[in-house]
Structure 1
Amino acid sequence: MLDNDALIRLSVLTALIVAFQVLVSHVSLEREAKRRWQHALTGHVIVQASYIIPMSYGNAGLMIGAVGMAYVRLYHPYKFMEAFGPLLRPEELEAGKLPGAFHFLIGSSLTATLFNLPIARYAVECLAIADPMAAFVGKSVPSPQLNKSASVAGSFACFITSLVVGYLMLEDASLLQLSMGALGCTLAEAMPFGNDNLTIPLMTAVAVACFSNSY
């Protein structure tokens, strides 16, 4: 049973995530910049909330948010487009197509369910920060393309960002563990298939867990 304090914190978390999504969608920026801010803000709020909300409650909130988003997208598409349309990529505008934010919430929830808290926090923070950094650098710095959606510069930025995030978040982790986590994140971000909102946190967490005895 939810205690009152946890219920209040969970409600605030849910409200913040929704508010960030709506706010960013109406800021005067180009679409991809909005998506990068959306990624960073949502992921960081989820990670910080895990320090004040029991994980079981937080997971419930993530799943409720994902189901609620899917419901509104599928059954109230006009309201959904009014609130979040400016954040959507062309392929997400198709009728019945679930947005990246849905997969972001599902990916975060699965990672938190399957891995212990330090690894899950790190993996979600990589999704929040390293993925947008890869997109930003990839579009800003000319470099050879690895595939249609990834470049050498973007992948390098993703690896370095993930490495720094790991150094800051994974206490006592070895260089090997940090490097494997960063490599897992970079490979997931660069893959030309799958949804990186799912693959980045899961592959990052798997990479760290496989090379760690203490997490």
Structure 2
Amino acid sequence: MANTAQESAGVLEKAENWVQQHEIPRKVLHGSIAIITLYLYVHGTHLNQVTPVLIAMLVPIATIEVFRFASPELNRAYIQTVGPLMRESEKTGAVNGVIWYLAGLIVVFSIFPKDLSVLSVLLLSWADLSASTIGRAYGKYTPQLYKGKSLAGSFAAFICGIALTWLWYGYYVPAYNQFNLPQDILWTAESSRLSLLSYSVTVGVVVAVAELFPIIDDNFSIPVVSATALWVILQAAKRN
């Protein structure tokens, strides 16, 4: 009986270690943000309704972040509460990625039109997630590109970026266009010299590069760099 209990405990411990090693809770949260974003979009939510909520979330989280590194007791309590959603480096000194996540979305939502803002969330949630997942699983079989980033991960981000752009502009934007103002949608087939296919491939390249060379943190750089680069590209590709 004792051996059975020990074996069960061992299996449970291995399962918990596997979940933590592969950052499963964090990835589930990461990917769910895109689902929430699409839900808000199809129900007519506008950016000016979301941005204040993001700011209201960022302020207390950033405040706790400042104080937790000054207090070992607070840091331990913080890790016990949200530790499964954190990277190991964030438990020992790195800034919590949630702060960069919120900051990146606030910047994008405050500057760019709705289509680029929502697309940047999709890219951050799913293209980054696909790069991490595929990179961990198959990166060892492909060349390493930059600071632990693999060709497998970058290719996954590229393919996911194409698919997400096609899904966003091919289905969601036209299907719920009644919620969009004219200035909300920067890319259309009529206004741009880029076809949906060429634009989707462009987005794939942009997000793969943004994920490969993160500025500060990939949770910040992927939405901000992607939205900025795509805005510049779309301005240059406008029909006269």
Q: TM-score, normalised on structure 2?
A: 0.70
Give 1:50 shift: 4.3
Measured on the aligned residues, the alpha-carbon RMSD in Å equals 2.4
Name the aligned partner's letter for residue 224 of structure 2: L
**Do 2:214 and 2:221's aligned partners in 1 also have CA atoms closer than 8 Å?**
no
Name the aligned partner's letter for residue 37 of structure 1: V
Name the aligned partner's letter for residue 51 of structure 2: N
**Do 2:214 and 2:222's aligned partners in 1 also have CA atoms closer than 8 Å?**
no
The corresponding residue for 1:190 is: 212
Q: Which has the higher contact order (CA 8 A, sep 6+)?
A: 2
Counterpart among 197, 207, 211 of residue 233 in structure 2 = 211
Give 1:130 shift: 0.5
Secondary structure of residue in 2 paired with 1:29:
helix
C-alpha distance in structure 1 between counterparts of 2:32 and 2:104, whole Å: 16
Runs of 4+ in 1 over 6 A off after TM superposition: none
Whichever of the two has the greater Rg, that structure is 2
C-alpha distance in structure 2 between counterparts of 1:149 and 1:43, whole Å: 26
Structure 1: tracts of 5 or more residues without a match: 1-25
The 3 A distance-change label for structure 1 pair 108 and 48 is farther
C-alpha distance in structure 2 between counterparts of 1:84 and 1:74, whole Å: 16
The corresponding residue for 1:8 is: none
Structure 2: tracts of 5 or more residues without a match: 1-15, 68-73, 171-187, 190-194
Give 1:192 shift: 5.7
The 3 A distance-change label for structure 1 pair 79 and 197 is same
Counterpart among 176, 189, 194 of residue 198 in structure 2 = 176
The corresponding residue for 1:68 is: 60
Q: How many residues align?
A: 188
**Do 2:134 and 2:152's aligned partners in 1 also have CA atoms closer than 8 Å?**
yes
The corresponding residue for 1:39 is: 30
**Do 1:133 and 1:154's aligned partners in 2 also have CA atoms closer than 8 Å?**
yes
C-alpha distance in structure 2 between counterparts of 1:39 and 1:81, whole Å: 18
Aligned-residue sequence identity (percent) comes to 25
The corresponding residue for 1:21 is: none
C-alpha distance in structure 2 between counterparts of 1:189 and 1:117, whole Å: 22
The 3 A distance-change label for structure 1 pair 192 and 110 is closer
The 3 A distance-change label for structure 1 pair 88 and 99 is same
